[in-house]
Structure formats: structure tokens, C-alpha cells
Structure 1
Amino acid sequence: MKKRFFSLIGLFSFSFLLLMSCATSKNTLGFSELNGEWNIIEIEGDVVVPADHQPFPYVGFDTSTGRLYGNSGCNRMMSSITPGGTAGEIVIGAIAGTRMACKDMKLEQNVLQAMAKVKRYERIDEQKIALCDAGNQPILILAAKEGKADIAILSGEWFITTVNDEAISFNRYRQPIIAFNTEEERVNGFAGCNNFMGGYKIDEKINHSISFPSLASTMMACDSMELEGKILKALDKVRSYKQTVEGLELCDVEGKRVLTLLKK
């Protein structure tokens, strides 16, 4: 923990650079430039150091859909975003989140309290931005995440609940599932009759990209193979993913949803 703390101090202690307010026009950032995922590295002047075994808080902006998402230190958070009336202004809707209890909730409380105050944003440099309050004072400092970092939200097992927007009748014991191992960049699951497995690929230049170019499956025959065929064809089309309030959406090259996932 101490080693991690001092490395964060070395990388992120730059509050003194922000004595200017968020009202300075030379640091104005376009609304669309918020796109992507950002680690929360400082809250009201304090360097962020998560407790052991807790995730680093981050916030993601999808300005094309007006969506905010992320992790507040223990739970996932999600909300809406719209540009304000003048350059550098942002309107963040009420923040919703999951309700998991962690050993230390202080960091999460600080993140959510600070997020509720955000009214403006500005650029610090090419890799960092500040979120500011109504008085134009920086209250959150964000650092751009690397392209692969956000893939961790996929980790674990997910029920497949729709394919091509057709609902799949729920059966806890025979429900199609997909499971991601983000450390090994592997995937496996059950398509309705057979098990499938393989790797996935991401394009670090494209936000939320993912594809499954080399899936294999067992070859058992079942009375009906229609659902399995639809799921495997849909997986072959997947090129990106989106986090939603309900779970995840896997989308094709045009951004159209082909599979909906619910955390198991």
C-alpha cells in the first residue's frame, strides 16, 4: 500500500497547478472531448488512494448518447450528461448506482459528494481534466485511462437475455450465458445447447471495442438449435459493448444492439 501511495503522489500531486479557476478560456475543452474513461485521481485537493482490494474510482463519458458511467470506489455509478449553456459547462443528472457494501465506503462517499457539485470542466493537459463546482473551483481531477482499462467491467458471468432484440425465456439452469476472463482475455459460455469458448480482441484506438474472432464450440445435437444459431451468429457480429443501467449491450459494427447481458 505504501509503495502504491508514493507512486500516486509522484504521478498525481499537481493541485498547485490549479490555482486558476475553471473559468479560464485558454483551457476550454469541447464537450465531445470528454469522451472516454478517466481515473479519479484527486478529490478536493486530496490524492485518491483506494483501500486494499477496492477498485480505483473512475468516470466515463459518452457524449454521443448523453451517458455517464463508472465506479465510485465500491459500486458502479451511472447518470446522464448534457452540455450547459456556455462553453465548459456540464449538467449531470441524478447519479444512480449499485448497492454493494464494501469494507471502506469513505472514498465512495467523497466521490459521490464531489460529483453532485460538478458544474464545469476544463483541460489541465493532454491527459488530465478538472471538474469544477459552481464557484469555478476544481473539485475532481481526472486522468485519462488507457484503452484496455475499462474492459474490466466485463469480468465475470452474464446471462444472455436478448438476441437481436428478441427476449429469451428465462431459465436459471439452462439460460444462455457468457463469461469473460479479462486477465487472460478469454471468453466462454453456453449458447442454449453447446458450450463455446475462445479469445476476444479489442482495438485500443476505439472506445469500448470488442470482437470474438475465434470462438469454438462443442458439437452436441439438441431438439432445437434455433436459439443457439442466433446467439453464435450475433457473437460473430459483435464489435463493441455498452454499459447500461440494467447490464451490458453487445453491438455490431453499426452500433446496433445484437445481445443484451445481465450480470449473473
Structure 2
Amino acid sequence: MKKISIIAAVIALCSCSATKTTDAAVDLNGEWDIVKVDGNAVDTTKTEFRPTLGFETAKDNVFGCAGCNSINGKAKVDAAKQTISFSEIGTTLMLCANMEYEQQILKALESVKGYKAAGKGCVDLTDGSDKTVLQLKKQ
């Protein structure tokens, strides 16, 4: 019984809450791990590097890693409306053994229009229909 309680506690601490909050004060600044793509958990054993996104909202910069290649570009964040507009996104051109998550992350990134709090240090990046396409967890 004690073992089950410990496992449940670890899962609760390591995952983002499924309950969405409406906290309008989400601060995207800093580095985030990409933990879900289109609702599916990212298995980092199948990526060359840990998938991440980072934001410098004062400079309109976005940076990170899609699992193999580095990401750099511009991200115009409107905190009041919780919208994001990406532009000039570029990646390095390395070829890695497994590019599955790389392709999914880059495709999802193309559809991002907004963001919202997802609880427990997480934020959801959403498309134009408010559907979560990427979930990030603060590093």
C-alpha cells in the first residue's frame, strides 16, 4: 500500500494537471520542456536531445530544440490576450536517427496561435480553435 502511495505521489509531482485554470498571468519567459504534442506524451528516449522552447518576450525571441535540431525565431506574445504570433522560425539541418517527434513538434508549432495555463507549472500552446497542440512544463 505504501509503495502505491509513493508511486501516485511521484506521478502527481511529475505530470501536469489535467485540470485547466484560467490564470491570465501566465509568464512565458524562460525555458520550458515540451512534454506533450497533440495530447501525446513526448518520450525523450526517442529523441536525440530534450525537446524545449524558450521565450524572451521583451525581445520577441523564441528558441529551443525540436528533439534534434535547434529552433530560433521571433515570437510576438500578447499577454493580455494570451496570443502568440511566430515568425522567421528557422532550424538547424542535422539528421538524427529518430525524427518522429521533431516533425510533430515543428508541425504543431506552425499552428500555435495562443496559450493558457494548464496547472502545476505547465502551459498549453493552442491553435486557432483553442485546441492544445503543445504542452510545456517550466524547467
CA distance in 1, matches of 2:53, 2:77: 17
Q: Which residue of 1 aligns with 2:34?
A: 160
Query: What's the RMSD between the two structures over aligned residues?
Result: 2.3
Shift in alpha-carbon separation, 1:176–1:67, aligned structure 2, 3 A = closer
**Aligned partner letter, 2:66:** A
Deviations 1:67-86 (A, max 9, x none): 4426xxxxxxxxxxxxxxxx
Mapping 1:251-262, distance limit 5 Å: 251-262=126-137
- Give the counterpart of 2:65 among 161, 169, 190: 190
> Any unmatched runs of 5+ in structure 1?
1-65, 71-149
Computing the radius of gyration from Cα coordinates, the structure with the larger value is 1
TM-score by length of 1: 0.41
Match of 1:69 in 2: 23
Residue deviations 1:117-167 (CA, integer Å, cap 9, x gap): xxxxxxxxxxxxxxxxxxxxxxxxxxxxxxxxx57x000000000101111
Q: In structure 2, what is the Cα distance between the partners aligned to 1:203 and 1:169?
A: 31
Cα distance in 2, alignment partners of residues 263 and 155 from structure 1: 10
Q: How far did residue 203 of structure 1 move?
A: 5.5
Instruction: Give the alignment partner of residue 115 of structure 2, picking from 213, 229, 241.
Output: 241
Partner of residue 109, structure 1: none
Where does the alignment leave 5 or more consecutive residues of structure 2 unmatched? 1-19
Q: Distance in 1 between matches of 2:74 and 2:67?
A: 20
Distance 1:167 1:216 in 2: 24
Which whole-Å CA distance do the structure 1 matches of 2:78 and 2:137 have between them? 24
For residues 258 and 170 of structure 1, the distance between their equivalents in structure 2, rounded to whole angstroms, comes to 18
Secondary structure of the residue that 2:101 maps to in structure 1?
helix
- CA distance in 2 between counterparts of 1:68 and 1:250 reads 14
- Give the Cα separation in 2 of the matches to 1:180 and 1:257: 18
Q: Which structure 2 residues correspond to residues 131-150 of structure 1 after superposition, within 5 A?
A: none
Distance 1:155 1:220, change over 3 A: same
Q: Classify 1:69/1:219 alpha carbon distance in 2 versus 1 (closer, same or farther; 3 Å).
A: same
Specify the code of the residue in structure 1 equivalent to 2:61.
Answer: R
Residues 213 and 236 in structure 1, CA contact (< 8 A), matched pair in contact too:
no
Contact in 1 for aligned 2:60/2:77 (Cα 8 Å):
no
Q: CA deviation at 1:169?
A: 1.6
Taking the aligned partners of 2:30 and 2:109, their CA distance within structure 1 comes to 17
CA offsets per residue over residues 149-196 of structure 1, 9 Å max, x none? x57x0000000001011111246x922000101121101000011001
Give 1:171-250 correspondences, 5 Å limit.
Answer: 174-202=49-77, 207-246=81-120, 247-250=122-125
Cα distance in 2, alignment partners of residues 67 and 224 from structure 1: 34
Shift of 1:213: 2.5
Letter of the structure 2 residue corresponding to residue 69 of structure 1: D
Aligned length: 118
Q: TM-score, normalised by structure 2?
A: 0.76
**Identity within the alignment, %:** 37
In structure 2, the CA distance between the partners of 1:203 and 1:158, relative to structure 1 (3 Å rule), is: closer
